[in-house]
Chain A
Amino acid sequence: MLGATIALTVAISAVMVSIHWNGQEASTAAPKIDELLNVMIVISSFVFSLVMVVLFYALWKFRVKPGDESDGEPIHGNTRLEVAWTVIPTIIVLFGAGYSWAVLHDIEKTDRNPLTVDVFSQQFAWSFGYPGKDNAYSEGELHVPLDRQVHFKMHSLDVIHSFWVPEWRIKKDNVPGITTTAIVTPDRLGAYQLICTELCGFGHSTMRAKVVVERPADFRAWVGGLKREVPPPYLETIRQDTETDPIPVGAGGA
């Protein structure tokens, strides 16, 4: 039965790991998260295979013969087995917790020279403020430089929205009244989509923005070409929002 379990585990994990479930990887965090996912897929495949093999073996082997009205064997338990299936899963999940913690620590580590971009969300649009030039501002289109850590400081002007770029594997709610932070290091050029993932009203499914990752020189030129400034009410939001948790996990490289 162990053989069957292992064979099934190998088969399921081989298929599952070969598929890139999360899509393209476009940030330094993405491969780490995907690797964690793949490790968990392998472990889960084993657990699932074990349950399935035992279940279907039992159904095949111990299915009653027609007309057999007798009872099964009066086995009430087996202390050793019960201890095993308490302790082993505990070890597995604690391993998973430790591994996740390490990944979390890693992906939220702060660099020495990050770029800070302000994100403003409201029903049903995104806009962005950039450092460097005086309060440079763009609506519906976010540009960031390649290979530099970006700290997004997020502000909502009405209800809760959530900032998600699937290729970056990063998501964070924008909450009225507080400043939330997301840390991303984009490492792949291209255009992506920013998706609102917190229900925010009837326009929720249309609340998208374009994200462009470009070379630092192009980025500087683009920001330099921006004509508009962050509107005063938005600056007011930055001033009044409390930053309850400046740097995620913190312990990082800060």
Chain B
Amino acid sequence: MAAAIKRPGWIRGALGATLGAAFGLALVVVLREISGLSAFQTEQTGYPQVVVPLVTGPLGFLAGFGCFDYWLRWAAGMPTIPEDHSQHGARSWRDYLRFNTDHKVIGIQYICTNFFFFFVSGLMAMLIRAELAQPGTQIVDAATFNGLFSAHAAIMIFVFIVPVFAGIANYVLPLMIGAPDMAFPRLNALSFWMLPIAGLMFVGSFLAPGGAFDAGWTGYAPLSTGAPLGQSFFNLGVQFAGASSIATALNFLVTIITMRAPGMTFWRMPLLVWANLSTSLLVVAATPFIAGAQFMVLFDRALGTQFFQFAGGGDVISYQHIFWFYSHPAVYIMMLPGFGIISEVISIHSRKPIFGYRLMALALIGIVVLSYSVWAHHMFVAGMFSWLRVPMMITTLLIAVPTGIKIFSWLGTLYFGKIHTYSTAMLFALAFIVTFTIGGISGVMLGMVPIDIHVSDTYFIVAHIHFVLFGGSVFTIFAGIYHWFPKMTGRMYDERLGRVHFWGTLVGTWGTFLPMHWVGMDGMPRRVADYAAQFGDWNLLISIFAFILGAVQLVFLYNMVVSWRFGPRAEANPWRGKSIEWQVSSPPPIFNFDEIPRVVGGPYEFGVPGARHAIMGGEAEVAKPEPAAVGSK
């Protein structure tokens, strides 16, 4: 037992969590006693005896679990434990349940955790649609309903879409650039372990007195500053998810900039790497803004600060500016990695180089730059200075240009190709182009102030966001999971079940979210537990398709679980890809490469006679002349 307590792991983690929470609780009680206050405070915005342990408990868990061991010894001047690689790589399934510094293990940990929360949040969506199937109140009351859609969005955004891309890239990206691991493996592991904490806080808020946070995932003040305790769970959950995101982004930036294999110039990087470079640039600079905004709300609630209380000299609208300064870039954080995945999948399955590779990379950078200058398009009716609407409209519409470039370039890649559609990944990639085009078009319409004035905060918004986040991001996530499933697990998934999942998802997505445009324009506001009877038929239809969409995800789950265990063995390169991750075994060796590969050409040289992307270590040096035009047009 004593040994178990000394060793980093779950037992020490549980102990750390308990001690951390107890310390936080004691801190509150003692300080309040000293100040002559009653030990506990149960105003709905207060509850310091819960809020403080919510910070110290998780930190105690992370410390106990072993996330800081190496650094603490170093910082304290103690002899560090020599790296024996015992924390690196997975030899059994148990290795996935501990502090592990292998980027491949962390990638799997991310993806499994994220999909767990995807299903939790998906169940909430099912409840929401069940309630909305008929006008009136049937299943949940209005307050619970507000909690459900708030938690649904927060979980999907902060613990599914944003981090699952980090998970996929964690696995694939170091392999793609020929690196043995990420630049900071311990930081990488810490980033992952902060994430389930965020997810559990969002889910756990349902147990708080007053119910889950119910001011929407946007948490506009002053509704959020006066809301019950659940709101504080949201404020703190965002901190853990945000810290995780920022640390991962820094890790990706350093890895991509400094750890590329010799010969991999910027113009020889696969587009997935470009996409994660761009995403990370957004995350490191934008995410601190939402962390700040949520801290300010928490302080308004618990410490009596007046950031957003007009009566105390605060400014209500400034919350929205700070919030959207992160949360608009966030939609690109949730889209750019997907663009990267689609580029890989489409190029491989049409056996053709990416059309206009350099412009594709530059378009990503263009989106990064523009996305910092469009946030106030969420606020056209918010009562901000009206002149600001016009420049924000222009930048918003201009962002359609680099996005359009990407769509047209994918079409250019398909054209004159040899298109294979047997892979479910390719089906999702093709469907993504169609669905995302619709989402892009409705986005351009929303960017136009006069149209936005009418449809803002209606179901049109719900339709748009789901077309870009479900038909966009989630389709690319599915494409990525199917595409790299053989690499990650060493097994093949069942294409037949994949196609069932694909068609069900496609029909479900369109059937659910397309009619939402119409009811929104016709006068149905969003975030309502009840609605006018005239929208009843449409909502019933929407709910039916939503249930189809939900049910068909179980096929995906079954396919993944069963194929991972029993699927036929995958070859190293089932899709005949050129990039480096396909040149190592499936799954790759624990340390990725015996010898770092040498990159000698572009990543998409399909059909170019004699072209190579990389020469793997141990391979006999072939003295073939390299083609002159590698990596460029």
Where the two chains meet, the residues of A that have a C-beta atom closer than 8 Å to any C-beta of B are: 21-23, 29, 32-33, 36-37, 40, 44, 47-48, 51-52, 54-55, 58-59, 62-64, 68, 70-79, 81-82, 85-86, 89-90, 93-94, 96-97, 100-101, 103-104, 107-108, 154, 158-160, 162, 164, 166, 169-178, 180, 193, 195-206, 244-245, 248-250
- Count of chain A to chain B residue pairs whose CB atoms are closer than 8 Å in the complex: 270
- Nearest CB in chain A: distance from B602 CB, A: 8
A195, closest chain B residue (CB): B525
Q: Do the beta carbons of B433 and A51 come within 8 Å of each other?
A: yes
Write the chain B residue with the least CB distance to A101. Answer: B390
Is A74 touching B451 in the complex (CB atoms < 8 A)? Answer: no
CB proximity of A235 to chain B, nearest CB, Å: 17
Q: Residue on A with the closest CB to B211?
A: A202
From B214, B419, B633, contact of A77 by CB (8 A)? B633
Contacts of A245 in B (CB 8 A): 383-386
B80 interface residue (CB < 8 Å to A): no
Instruction: Pick the 8 closest A-B CB pairs, nearest first.
Output: A177-B310, A205-B528, A71-B607, A72-B352, A72-B417, A180-B383, A197-B457, A74-B607
The answer, yes or no, to whether B21 is at the interface (CB within 8 Å) is no
Q: Which residues of B contact A250 (CB under 8 A)?
A: 386-387
Query: CA of A108 to CA of B389 in the docked complex: distance in angstroms?
Result: 13
Question: Are A100 and B417 neighbours in the complex by a CB distance under 8 Å?
Answer: no
Task: Give the interface centre of A36, A62, A100, A250 by most chain B CB atoms within 10 Å.
Answer: A100
Q: How many Å from the CB of A42 to the closest CB on chain B? A: 12
* Interface assignment of B257: CB less than 8 Å from any CB of chain A: no
Judge whether A198 and B433 touch: CB under 8 Å.
Answer: no
The answer, among A52, A177, A204, for a CB contact under 8 Å with B146, is A204
Secondary structure at chain A's binding surface: helix, strand, loop or mixed?
mixed
Instruction: List the B residue with the shortest CB-CB distance to A179.
Output: B383
- Interface size class for chain B? 35 or more
Closest Cβ neighbor of A37 among chain B residues: B451
Other-chain contact of A89, B311, B404, B438 (Cβ < 8 Å): B404
* B548 on interface, CB distance cutoff 8 Å: no
Q: List 23 A-B contacts (CB under 8 A).
A: A21-B518, A22-B522, A33-B451, A51-B407, A51-B411, A55-B433, A63-B419, A71-B352, A71-B606, A71-B607, A74-B605, A74-B607, A75-B412, A76-B629, A93-B401, A101-B390, A101-B393, A159-B220, A169-B453, A171-B454, A173-B381, A177-B315, A203-B142
Q: Would you give the 0/1 interface string for B593-625, flagging 1 where the beta carbon is closer than 8 Å to chain A?
A: 000000000000111100100000000000000
In the assembly, what is the distance between CA of A59 and CA of B611, in Å?
Answer: 26
Q: Is the CB of B606 within 8 A of A74?
A: yes
Find chain A residues with CB under 8 A from B405 CB: 82, 85-86, 89
| Selected interface stretch from B31-39, B440-448, B549-557 | B440-448
A39: shortest Cβ distance to chain B, in Å? Answer: 10
Q: Which B residue sits closest to A196, measured CB to CB? A: B525
Task: Determine the chain A residues whose CB is within 8 A of the CB of B188 once the complex forms.
Answer: none
